Amino acid sequence: MSTTQDQFERSSSAAAGAVKKLIPYGGYFTNNVPGHDPELTEVGPGTPAGEYLRRFWHPVCMTLELTDTPRFLKIMGEELVCFRDGSGAIGLLHAHCVHRGASLEYGKIEQHGISCCYHGMVFDVDGACLRVPFPEGEEEEGERYRCSIRQGAYKALERHGLVFAYMGPPDEEPPFPDWEGNFTVAEGDELVPYSNFQHANWLQVQDNSADNYHTMALHAKRQVTGEHYQGTTFDEVGAASMEVPPDMQFVPIHGGRGLACSGARRSDDDHMYIRVQHQVLPNFSLHAYTSEDGHAKKLFGRFHMIRWTVPVDDVNSKMIGWRVMGPGIDTRGIGDKSMVGYETIDFLEGQVAMRRPERFGQYKLEDLPPIPADHRARANYKECQYAPGDYEAIISQRPIAVHALENPTKFDAGLYVFRKLLRDAIRGTNPAAGPQQFAQWLRDSGGTPNSYCSGNVFELPVGRTREEEVTLRRYLAKQVVLILTESDTIKGQARTDFVKQKLEALQQDVLARRMA
């Protein structure tokens, strides 16, 4: 068969398949589920995504999870234990003792390090063996053995109630990225840690962060069967602007290391709301104020939610990060600090596997119920069907979403752009996002890069025609990103002043043009 004929037959077969997809009651023609995308979704040691992810810092648990017994964790398919020893040092070690494989989750936390329950060997937080209990008279042999073994260990540090770890080669350790100095920009604001388990592959959880369009349906009253409220929909906090389908613009930034997702919404006939989300490779995102009603002018509002999507294994992950709370960002006083923590969040209870019939204030970790292994086995499964949230939408895409079955629209572009940036970074065809280049960029920024994340409400009347309104939305969404790019070499208050001045000038320029 000739190459031309072969190509013709393959294209004809594809065309016939596309037609069959449109046949009424044609499920038979679409019942074959292809495999997932292993290059982006699989995270174990030696996998393409797993090796890339290991070159970055990730939160692995909350500080409150470190008690008087070791905390068993699974991160990127590796079984680990995390603990704080008597000296205050944090250890993150391979769970299985290098001697005979007993799990250190049953070990005793010592003044320095941890001892294995099986034979009492003690390991320091860097993996060094501190003591081997050989019999009296055999100390020399015990010392030789002690020096011949080392427990697998990763460097860990603590920030604002979260424990972070670097799980890559020690000689490639990057600077810890303190975005904008300390992750919060307004005086009086506080970083409140939380961790939410997700029964799904890490990438579809991260995709949800880049999908800024879904709020108009998933979080709206009209999507709730019989209007059975889950208790914290956007309707109830008054942020109806989030239910307006946004006009989205997606712009790769920082040399392909991240993505600015700029969405323009008309909050009322006199105000235009431009919300810019910032996605950062490989699994980090910064989110502007989630309760913005858009009815009052606001320029350069900043971080309200900061989170990482951390793989547990190929079919489970964590959303772990901070809610920024306080008068600097939560200008409407909607946040509830008592609801933010381990397996709980103060908005959209559908974000988590365990919805709460009551609000938890001060609680002990051991008092919380276990995370359900099967989302359909939850006691409140029916309630979840009435009013699904992000958690339900994400996990219902299958344990690992099958990209080959997707049929995207233009408003899905953000997650596809981000996937491409990630794939190219893994392959080395997005060179600025390679681990070494990324680390050097962080060093050049002093470890405190600027974020594009911002919420902006402009005082602008609705367009006189549909065409004018569409043009205005798209122009503003793009111009805000350009202003943020122009400000990227400036730090701190000087940058804030610069951006606000430019945004004010942008509003005045648009008003003048419309009056001309």
Predicted confidence pLDDT, tens digits, the chain (516 residues): 444 445 444 455 555 566 667 889 888 888 899 999 999 999 999 999 999 999 999 999 999 999 999 999 999 999 999 999 999 999 999 999 999 999 999 999 999 999 999 999 999 999 999 999 988 888 889 899 999 999 999 999 999 999 999 999 999 999 999 999 999 888 889 999 999 999 999 999 999 988 888 877 787 777 777 766 544 444 444 456 667 788 899 999 999 999 999 999 998 999 999 999 999 999 999 999 988 889 999 999 999 999 999 999 999 999 999 999 999 999 888 888 888 999 888 876 667 877 754 544 445 666 666 677 777 767 678 878 887 888 899 999 999 999 999 999 988 999 999 999 999 999 999 999 999 999 999 999 999 999 999 999 999 999 989 999 999 999 999 999 999 999 999 999 999 999 999 999 999 999 988 776
Q: Judge whether 152 and 104 are in contact, CB under 8 Å.
A: no
Instruction: Give the dihedral sign, CA 497/498/499/503.
Output: positive
Q: Judge whether 345 and 304 are in contact, CB under 8 Å.
A: no
pLDDT at 222: 73
Q: Judge whether 203 and 40 are in contact, CB under 8 Å.
A: yes
pLDDT at 360: 46
Which residues, listed in sequence order, are joined to residue 251 by a DSSP beta bridge?
A: 260
Judged on CB neighbours under 10 Å (0-12, 13-18, 19+), 107 is buried
Euclidean distance between CA atoms 53 and 420, whole angstroms: 15
Euclidean distance between CA atoms 261 and 245, whole angstroms: 14
- Tokens 């997809």, residue located: 21
pLDDT at 237: 44
CA-angle at 296, arms to 292 and 299, nearest 5°: 80
Domains and CATH numbers, the chain: 57-166 (2.102.10.10), 190-515 (no CATH)
For residue 231 the two structure tokens come to 């208790």
pLDDT at 229: 59
For residue 74 the two structure tokens come to 């699974």
Mind spelling out the 3-state secondary structure of 73-142?
A: EEECCEEEEEEECCCCCEEEEECECCCCCCEHHHCEECCCCEECCCCCCEECCCCEEEECCCCCCCHHHH
Q: Judge whether 241 and 355 are in contact, CB under 8 Å.
A: no
pLDDT at 228: 62
pLDDT at 512: 87
- Cα of first residue to Cα of last residue in the chain, in angstroms, is 67
pLDDT at 232: 44
pLDDT at 238: 43
pLDDT at 283: 98
For residue 102 the two structure tokens come to 């007993």
Letter string b/e over residues 463-500, b meaning 16 or more CB atoms within 10 A of that residue's CB: beeeeebeebbeebbebbbebbeebeeebeeebbeebe
